[in-house]
Structure 1
Amino acid sequence: MMTGKTSRWAVIAAWIIAAIALTFTLPAVNDRTANNASDLPEDSPSVVADELIKEEFPNFSGIPALLTWHREGGLTEADLAEIQYLSKELTDNPLTQQSFLPPLHEIPLPALKGSVSEDGTTFVQPLFFKENTETEILEKNLESINEAVTERIGTDPFNVPTDSNELSLRVTGPVGISVDATGLFSGADFKLLLATVILVLVVLLLIYRSPLLAIIPLIGVGFAYIVTSPILGFMADHGWITVDSQAISIMTVLLFGAGTDYCLFLISHYRSELRNHESKREAMIAAFKDSSGAIAMSGLTIVISLLTLLVAKYGAYHRFAVPFSLSILIMMLAALTLVPALLSVFGRASFFPIVPRTTEMEEARAKKKGKAVKKHKEGRIGNWIGHIVTTKPWTVILTCLIIFSVLAGYSSQIKYSYDILSSFPEDMNSREGYSVISDSYSPGELAPATVVVDTDGEEIDLAPALKGMDIVETVADQVTSKSNKDLQSYEVTFNINPYDIEAIDSIPEIRTMAEKELKAANISSVDEKVWVGGQTATQFDKRDTVKSDEFMIIPIIIVLISLLLLAYLRSVTAMVYLMGTVILSFFAAMGLGWIILHYFMGVDAIEGTIPLYSFVFLVALGEDYNIFMVSSIWRKKETMPIKQAIRKGVAETSGVITSAGIILAATFSVLATLPIQVLVQFGLITALGVLMDTFIVRPFLVPAITSLLGRRAFWPGKVTNQEEKEQANY
């Protein structure tokens, strides 16, 4: 269908019509992002605690913004008067979704001075907004505050350096962090799209030296992106899925990286067949027959792997599943329909100026020009690798295993962090605000924890026990619920960063201590009468949820991909060693990534969600290359001895796999250009894993294992007569 004179144009027209219709009738996914969606299940202890606090202690409910006023030489009475003026202004004219504001304007100025930091330089003004307030609204509210203060004092305090003797203002806490996180991704989708397109175009031009051939894959990927975006927007608009800016940004990179790979798989076969067939239509039919199975299998591998994220409890994982899998599915369809149709239209001109021709066509062309025929040469490097892996398989295998084992050993040394602030650039508003608070107050002021207990009517005071904990700086006065006198709350301020691992680890200790105090008062069922809320408790639940998802999803992915390989290759042996090599390369990539990030870039810990993200991508994408190369060997072993099939298969696929791997690694490395540490770390580790698969696993380790196993590599598949003859000769 994609090669007929009429049908190929029909295919192209169908994609154009679909792209136009969907674009003009459905909303773009970028217009339907929800960057404040919850990441934790509703039954998570911290979520339950925060809901209870919101209902029973309304003054403590909402999302806090910490307005951090600072003057390096010390705050003046005029500065405090400005703080009081803003307090009155926001009380008289509340911001959208504003829920609570301490009435600082009602406090006498001398008393207000008591809340200034000991060094006299800093004052923190809390401002609360309603739960689930859209980040866009929060951002507009902060802009309103900035405009009001700027108009009042005559300078923009948001842009005044915090080490200046002028009055500066920074907004940190959960609101400031949320707004800054969204701001980092604002426009990132377009920047990533532009950078990725330029990068892929340049790499394709360098590899194939054909302008048209560099554009054709981008056309295919572009149409896939245009079709995917409104479909995702439609699904998000109807509440079927939730998408955020981070998922869309990474989806863009994945789509262009993996999509270009699929196009290259087809293009490489088409170029080879154009040297065997004078008819470009026959060449495309042969190329499609040889490559379509591998492309479809590779696409399904990624789609199924990504769909496993639907079972994740952690929201960010869950939100990735549909955008990623749908984009790859549509890209796979484009690679199997639109791209073949485009190649059929342009034919040999696609490869201009290095046009592939049959021997007869080259001879006729050379005769016409009076020149000698230039014979096509197979890649020398591919032939050399094919020779090495078939003549010295043990040397290759042991060398690869030693390298990977050493690197994988470093993966056990990785430290993980759940501190979102550490992923921000140092000059971000919320991070600067936190630094000011840490220097002038306790760093725990950024996000206090709230402990709530049900006393069953008993006289209990947890404050002394809480104050006795090494990690606690201060404990606010006990507050009793107005609707339920048995409920008491305590606001606890840590003496360290509330996002640090040590603070996160203290949550169970706080809960245990509170339960112990209740038991001492002869209260029963104490495990149901203690709640700990706040950002630190949320991060504790995030860590537990992430680890639980890893424990559940990684085995599911391994099983599903193994079954796909088994169905496609019909070989238990091949399935085992193909999965084993990919898993080993994943741990090696994590280890090498840690070496670079920790020892060369000074990173103390990587973001806790990265292992699962990297595993999903590296295992699924790694099997892409496995499938493409092994399918070539499988076809050839039907007509030639196994070792010869391996040599030919490696030589045939080494060029396209190298090209595809370079492009895929380069596209993931684009993520490292964003000022967001979690994407820098994810992009680096994934790019390293892809390069390892491209230059070590695929050309050396897998073929060497196949060569060493011989006919056993295909067990329990049937062995051809040619293979039996070969075995008899050894």
Structure 2
Amino acid sequence: MIRSCAKRYGAFVSGRKGRWITLFIWIVLILVLNGLLPQANSQKNERADIFVQETDSSKANEIINREFSTNKGTPALLTWYKASRLSDDDLASIQVLTKKLTDQPIKGTIVPPFHDIPLPVLKNQVSKDGTTLVLPIVFDKNLETQEISTRLGELKKTAKSIFPKDPFTASLKDEKNVVVRVTGPAGVSVDATELFSRGDLSLLIGTVTIVLLFLLIIYRSPILALIPLVGVGMAYMLISPILGWLGREGIIEFDAQAISIMTVLLFGAGTDYCLFIIAQFRKNLREEEDKFTAIRRAFSLSSGAIFMSGLTVVVSLLVLLVANYGSVHRFAIPFSLAILIMMAASLSLIPALLSILGRSSFYPFVPRTDEMAVKLAVKKGKEVKTRKNKANLGVYVGKLVSFKPWRVMLTTLVILGIFALFSTKIETTYDTLSSFPQDMPSREGFDILSKKFNPGELAPVSVIVKRNGSEGNLKEKLENLPFVAEVTDAVKGEKDSTFIKYEIGLKMNPYSNEAMAHIPELKKEVQSYIKQSGGDERNVWIGGMTAEQYDTSQTTKVDSSLVIPLVIGLIAILLLLYLRSITATVYLIGTVLLSYFSALGLGWIILHYGFGVEAIQGFIPLYAFVFIVALGEDYNIFMISSIWRKSKEMPLKRAIKEGVSETGGVITSAGIILAATFTVLTTLPIQILVHFGTITAIGILLDTFIVRPFLVPALTSIFGQGAFWPSKKRMEAVRVFNDKEVTRNG
């Protein structure tokens, strides 16, 4: 029933009338949705919650926003610096700036009145070496990052009119002029948004260019190279307004990072799906004179694998909805929607376009049947040449894995196993600033402050307690902790005076793993003291950036323990339904998991030992897992589909040999293109994406060149008939074909 419906559907979208109807439907949908709905880029939210569910740090920040008005808003630390010491004139100019900003305030900003502070007193706030002064400015908490950036732009114009040289663009090495860099939460947020925004266009151009280049090299046809890009482009024109509408209605949230990675995923995976049907169409055109028959056969042979591959990725990405870490959670809908629509395009728009263009899709290397080639040669008065079946690399690989499977399996396991061992050496960090280029203003400002002041002052840790009796001398207790540099006086809550807040400056970089490791110890010490003082130990909360990073690390661990088993389980169910084999399902998942750990290990070897990377962002392994496992399983599904189909007509070893040979070219092409698109991420000045792109690209290449052509078919050959267990019909078919082969050879 399902196959019959699929055949009729394939015949329609590629038929004489259906192809035009299909194209017309896509064009109408694109025009209507783009005319009525906003684009995804207009609905990005760079200030979305860090966590989906409440954590200790998010609860602390909620209390701070409610009870302590001085902490309301997003602070920016304007770091004024002069290598040859700040002069009285420099400080006076800064006072003129604060006077102007007070007299002509920028909407949504609070500027401290430095102009009302006597110059000798202001000098006391300068660093000991006289080079650095911090001017904190607080932006309204409701302002989006883009609005903060706009207001910073107004501030910069005002400063430019006061100082002889623009302090925001002056070099840190300039000893004659004052330099200022914006850091702190607002500065980091603005720089992060700028980095991703700056990378959006270059990422799109780079991705399109590299896909087009590889398609031209592989197929040597300008028309064919454009077909996948047209398909992906039209799919994106549907995805963008749908995402824009979902964002506008508050159904989902997404940021620039999600859109950037989604673009790469769409072009990479989308091109793969297109190539699966294009390769089959070209093969059929050499056997069928009628292009409609050729495209129908191509659709029939590839649609199941495309649908299954796409469904595997969609389901895997939807699992991210269970994640509590906001960034990971927000990937789920945009990514799965992109793959779903791209899969739909591959099964409707692409067959329609191929049917319309026919053999001209492959111009100038037009595929023809032998009869057509003979007729054309006679017509042109050329010598008729018979087509020879040349043995390609796929044929040799197919023979190798079929007749020497144990040797192949052991060799690949050793190679992948060695790489996988290095995955245990990976160091992780949750420091956002460390992922910025060294010349970014927020990072330069932080580097100056960390050298000139106690680094803990840059991002103090907030300790909040709710009194239920006497909390005793908690400040003294906190000051005696070995990792604490200073503690502010207690501040009472404005609405509920039972809330008490202390600000703690740590002795180390507050963004470091060392600082993060002290958060549970700090909370334990405070809880113990509160309990001894007769209070309720449950009424203790730790807030601030360091606490957020600690919660991020713990949340990511929990997310991984949920997401990874769910992805594996759901993929196993889909494979089991598709292949009807427990044996094949187990070893296919096993090989992709091995590929994942090998990618982590090899990625760490390249990043750490090759480029000196000290640590990667802690959530990258989870990101990489979903992409490597889901996308890597695509190639296994496509190849195994070919082997399974051929095993109905020939002995298993021959089916393996021909299946590997038949799919080798297209999967290799698809894998190279997909890996290349993720490699584009490494060209961006964002270390998170550089590390993620490197590891994911490596995983895809390992799948393409080791797991898919060697390990999987070798295991299939070793298991033999057991590879189909418990499918009795297929196992019986294999026995029959093996018996026939033995009889014929005998």
Match of 2:324 among 291, 313, 319: 313
Residues 724 and 731 of structure 2 are in contact (CA less than 8 Å); yes or no, is this contact kept in structure 1? no
Q: Deviations over 1:141-171 (max 9, x none)?
A: 2111111111111321111112321100111
**Matching residue of 2:705:** 695
- 1:669 equivalenced with 2:682 (yes/no): no
Whether the aligned pair in 2 keeps the contact of 1:462 and 1:517 (CA below 8 Å) is: yes
2:621 equivalent to 1:611: yes
Aligned to 1:488, the other structure's residue is in SS state strand
* 1:248 maps to which of 248, 255, 259: 259
CA displacement at 1:242 relative to structure 2: 0.8
Count, aligned residues = 727
- Aligned partner of 1:586 among 559, 573, 596: 596
Q: Could you tell me which residue of structure 2 aligns to residue 509 of structure 1?
A: 521
- What corresponds to 1:334 in structure 2? 345
Structure 2 distance, partners of 1:257, 1:615, is 17
The CA distance in 2 between the partners of 1:51 and 1:91, in whole Å, is 29
Alignment of 1:84-483 (within 5 A): 84-98=95-109, 100-165=110-175, 166-368=177-379, 369-458=381-470, 460-483=472-495
Per the alignment, in what secondary structure is the counterpart of residue 719 of structure 1? helix
Q: Distance in 1 between matches of 2:43 and 2:494?
A: 40
| Distance of 1:387 and 1:506 partners within structure 2 | 58
Once the two structures are superposed, residues 295-331 of structure 1 have per-residue CA deviations (whole angstroms, 9 ceiling, x without a partner) of: 1111111111111111211111111111111111111
- Which stretches of structure 1, 4 residues or more, deviate above 6 A after TM superposition? none
Deviations along 1:88-124, whole A, 9 cap, x unmatched?
A: 33334443322x4433333222111111101110011
Query: Equivalences for 1:468-547 in 2 at 5 Å?
Result: 468-523=480-535, 525-526=536-537, 528-547=538-557
Aligned to 2:9: none
CA distance in 2, matches of 1:461, 1:164: 47
With over 3 angstroms needed to count, the CA separation of the structure-2 counterparts of 1:484 and 1:346, relative to structure 1, is: closer
Aligned equivalents of 1:584 and 1:186: distance in 2? 35
The structure 2 residue matched to 1:654, chosen from 639, 653, 664, is 664
Quick check: 1:42–1:48 contact (8 Å CA) kept in 2? no
Asked if 2 retains the 8 angstrom alpha-carbon contact of 1:96 and 1:137, the reply is: no
Secondary structure, aligned partner of 2:602: helix
Tell me the residue number matched to 2:6: none
Equivalent pair of 2:429/2:615 in contact (CA under 8 Å): yes
The answer for the alignment partner of 2:726 in structure 1 is 716
How far the C-alpha of 1:416 sits from its partner, in A, is 0.6
Whole-angstrom CA distance in 1 between matches of 2:680 and 2:494: 54
Shift of 1:85: 2.7
Deviation at 1:190, TM superposition (A): 2.2
Query: How far apart in 2 are the matches of 1:9 and 1:472?
Result: 71
- Once the two structures are superposed, residues 424-467 of structure 1 have per-residue CA deviations (whole angstroms, 9 ceiling, x without a partner) of 00000000000110111122222111112233342622222222
TM normalised by structure 2 equals: 0.95
Inter-partner Cα distance in structure 2 for 1:400 and 1:14: 47
Q: CA RMSD in A?
A: 1.5
In the alignment, the residues of structure 2 paired with residue 162 and residue 446 of structure 1 have an alpha-carbon distance, to the nearest angstrom, of 20
> How far apart in 1 are the matches of 2:306 and 2:29?
22
Quote the offset at 1:483 in angstroms. 4.2
The 1:654–1:288 alpha-carbon spacing in structure 2 relative to 1, beyond 3 Å, is same
Task: Tell me if the contact between 1:313 and 1:545 (Cα under 8 Å) persists in the aligned partners.
Answer: yes
Residue 468 of structure 2 contacts residue 534 of structure 2 at CA under 8 Å; is this kept in 1?
Answer: no
Q: How far off its partner does 1:478 sit?
A: 2.7
Partner of 1:125, secondary structure, is strand
Q: Structure 2 vs 1, CA of residues 163 and 469 (structure 1 numbering), >3 Å: closer, same or farther?
A: farther
The 1:3/1:455 distance shift into structure 2, 3 A limit, reads: closer
Aligned counterparts of 1:481 and 1:340: Cα–Cα separation in 2 = 65
Out of 520, 545, 548, the residue aligned to residue 558 of structure 2 is: 548
1 CA distance for matches of 2:471 and 2:332?
A: 50
Output one character per residue of 1:389-412: Cα deviation in whole Å (capped at 9) or x when no partner.
Answer: 011111111111111111111111
The letter of the residue matching 1:293 is: G
Structure 1 position 54 matched with structure 2 position 65: yes
Residue identity matched to 2:57:
S
The one-letter code of the counterpart of 2:606 is I
Matched residue, 1:34: 45
User: 8 Å contact 2:111–2:137 — kept in the other structure?
Assistant: yes
Tell me if the contact between 1:213 and 1:350 (Cα under 8 Å) persists in the aligned partners. Answer: yes
In 2 relative to 1, CA 232–379 (structure 1 residues): closer, same or farther, beyond 3 Å? farther
Judging changes above 3 Å, is the alpha-carbon distance between structure 1 residues 409 and 290 closer, same or farther for their aligned structure 2 residues?
A: same
CA deviation profile, 1:502-555 (whole Å, cap 9, x unmatched)? 1111111111111222223232x21x2212111111111111111111110111
Q: What's the CA shift for 1:481?
A: 3.1
Q: 1:80 to 1:457 in 2, by over 3 A?
A: farther
Secondary structure of 1:38's counterpart equals coil
Shift of 1:361: 1.7
In 2, distance between residues paired with 1:508 and 1:360?
Answer: 77
Moved more, 654-663 or 232-241: 232-241
- Could you say what secondary structure the match of 2:101 adopts? helix
Name the TM-score, length of structure 1 as normaliser: 0.97
Within 1, Cα distance between the matches of 2:391 and 2:247?
48
Partner of 1:632: 642
Question: Structure 1 stretch 623-632 or stretch 182-191: which is displaced more?
Answer: 182-191
Secondary structure in 2 matching 1:115: coil
Which residue of structure 2 aligns with residue 560 of structure 1? 570
- Unaligned regions of 5+ residues in structure 2, if any? 1-11
After superposition, what is the alpha-carbon deviation per residue over 1:628-674, rounded to whole angstroms, capped at 9, x for unaligned?
Answer: 00000000000100000000000000000000000000000001110
Alpha-carbon distance, 1:45 to partner: 0.9
The 1:497–1:371 alpha-carbon spacing in structure 2 relative to 1, beyond 3 Å, is same
- TM-superposed deviation, 1:417: 0.5
One-letter amino acid of the structure 2 residue matched with residue 426 of structure 1: Q
**How far off is 1:600 after superposition?**
0.7
Alignment partner for residue 714 of structure 2, among 704, 709, 712?
704
The answer to whether the 8 A contact 2:97-2:162 is kept is no
Q: Secondary structure at the match of 1:412?
A: helix
The Cα offsets for residues 536-575 of structure 1, whole Å up to 9 and x where unpaired, read as 1111111111111111011100000110000011100010
